[in-house]
Structure 1
């Protein structure tokens, strides 16, 4: 057994799961998100606002996830990287573009919509990836060490932005990390796991 966890995370709060590499932190996120590799088995209940997620396919769980790498699409503009996540019930390219531009402005990236993602700094890419996740209307936010590849100054700024926006959106957040500073910035419950 890698991770055994019993926790309740309120809207706008963060549960931090800490442990060394190989302790099952990312596997836990895969289970929550519905994309656990079939070589693993897991059991338990995961519910958000009364919806039992483990009964749903991954695409129906609406779990937003941020990884260590921002994973922006290189063939799309910055704004289109955000617009692609807007749910299908929002019709019209113009409306979707306006929403993407508003998200960029909210992230301090107004005027960046037409740029190629490769021209952005690491911190800017992280902010675009965050806005893309939030634009998808997630039920919960999963963070897989998303700050680990940023330099110290950018790491602090990006942490602040991620946790502020998650609180504003009222999202329950699960962060996996080995960094004590991440846990302090999250300012929530901390669950420590060890290698089995």
Structure 2
């Protein structure tokens, strides 16, 4: 039994594009999904989350076959680039949805939601509306909601792509803090090589709907290192 995520000969065709994934994602690690646009990175993430269903093969999470499970039944939380906050609900309510979609909250639930806001640096933001928050603050709220769900797998679809450099660094640090605290399995799509260097343990590189390489961070980054010139001499 594998305690992480297994895609066993998973195949899917969307329109004219075919995808075939066969890989294992280590439990408790941060795995980056890299590759060119249109290669199938989001499709891979959506298969794990349950937003897409394979036409063949199996998806296992912590040894349990989740191939036919509804997204709400899977032990995963998802944070997207656009953070998915409801514009008509205040930040506390948006975050508390991670505990109970019906918002029937016990006093203990309310305390947990408040503590999640504190944990991501949004103490005192509960009554504010999403439209009054910056991009980084909205993403922090999305992380607070995922934190409350307390699922063993966290899926991230380019969560920091729309943020400026300083905010990306802050959110990367927050992600690592939460990961160390919860020891969860993190799978993150990113195009940013520096982000991979900061965060990832392993990298799945996707090309043309398949896993082209599965390697440790050092091996992946070494392929992009600037070559050392063998030429020398005097001018």
Listed one character per residue, the Cα deviations across residues 99-139 of structure 1 (whole Å, up to 9, x for unaligned) are: 11100111111111111121111111101101101212223
2:122 matched to 1:106? no
Q: Which residue of 2 aligns with 1:23?
A: 39
CA distance in 2, matches of 1:190, 1:42: 25
Listed one character per residue, the Cα deviations across residues 73-109 of structure 1 (whole Å, up to 9, x for unaligned) are: 1111111111111047x96443322211100111111
Can you give the 5+ residue segments of structure 1 that lack an aligned partner in the other structure?
A: none
CA distance in 1, matches of 2:179, 2:66: 19
Quote how far apart the aligned CAs of 1:166 are: 2.3
Q: Which residue of 1 aligns with 2:21?
A: 4
1:22-171 correspondence to structure 2 within 5 Å: 22-36=38-52, 41=54, 43-87=56-100, 92-171=105-184
Q: Which residue of 1 aligns with 2:221?
A: none
CA distance in 1, matches of 2:42, 2:146: 18
The number of equivalent residue pairs is 192
CA distance in 2, matches of 1:45, 1:180: 30
Quote how far apart the aligned CAs of 1:42 are: 5.0
TM-score (norm 1): 0.88
The structure-2 alpha-carbon separation of the partners of 1:20 and 1:42, relative to structure 1 and needing over 3 Å to count, comes to: farther
Work out whether residues 21 and 44 of structure 2, in 8 Å CA contact, stay in contact via their aligned partners in 1: no
Can you give the 5+ residue segments of structure 2 that lack an aligned partner in the other structure?
A: 1-17, 210-235
CA RMSD across the alignment: 2.2
| Structure (1 or 2) with the greater helix fraction | 1
CA distance in 2, matches of 1:44, 1:92: 39
The structure-2 alpha-carbon separation of the partners of 1:160 and 1:42, relative to structure 1 and needing over 3 Å to count, comes to: farther
2:199 matched to 1:182? no
**Structure ID, larger Rg:** 2
Listed one character per residue, the Cα deviations across residues 145-170 of structure 1 (whole Å, up to 9, x for unaligned) are: 00100001101110111122123112
CA distance in 1, matches of 2:105, 2:97: 12
CA distance in 1, matches of 2:73, 2:20: 24
CA distance in 1, matches of 2:201, 2:92: 32
Quote how far apart the aligned CAs of 1:43 are: 4.0
Quote how far apart the aligned CAs of 1:63 are: 1.6
CA distance in 1, matches of 2:20, 2:141: 31
